[in-house]
Amino acid sequence: MEKINARNKIENVFRQEFASIETKFHLIDLPVVSLLVSKDEFICNPGVYVFYRGEEVIKVGRNFTNCRKRAWQHIRDNTKVEQLEMKNLQSDPLAQVLLINLKDIKDFHWSAVVEVFLEVNLKPLIRSKRLG
């Protein structure tokens, strides 16, 4: 059985469910190390972040105001489970983060439904406590 890389899986799951509103979003795929220096015009908008590496989805989350800021807080605060500490992702050349950000900040509410859908369907290594 051929394994699909996490990036393709994330995008496929997102697009299959949200194709009808996909134009509201802007996808930004970055190495974790580049998260704070990206100049993308939508980088600080509301949205959903997905950390991944290879075939592993590590963490899914969302923020209603600044997706990049919240994503970086997981690195800074070292969100972790037994086998993984997120602070180590900043020095891992294979670690990536995909931001699925809203183009219009007034559409921030969509980030909640996208986050829950991706969390349930991608089953990240570090689960959201908010979802149980």
Q: Which uninterrupted H or E stretch holds 2?
A: none
Total-model pTM: 0.94
Residue 1 placed within a domain: no
Residue 110 placed within a domain: yes
Range of the structural domain that residue 43 is part of? 6-131
**82: three-class secondary structure by DSSP:** coil
pLDDT, one tens digit per residue, over 75-109 is 999 999 988 999 999 999 999 999 999 999 999 99
Residue 26 placed within a domain: yes
> Is there a contact between 83 and 108 (Cβ–Cβ < 8 Å)?
no
How many domains is the chain built from?
Answer: 1
Residue 47 placed within a domain: yes
pLDDT at 118: 98
The CATH number assigned to the domain holding 109 equals: 3.40.1440.10
Nearest-CA neighbor of 51 among 99, 84, 83, 3? 99
pLDDT at 15: 97
Residue 41 placed within a domain: yes
Residue 107 placed within a domain: yes
Residue 101 placed within a domain: yes
Residue 81 placed within a domain: yes
pLDDT, one tens digit per residue, over 104-118 is 999 999 999 999 999
- How far apart (Å, rounded) are the C-alpha atoms in residues 3 and 68? 29
Residue 2 confidence (pLDDT) above 70? no
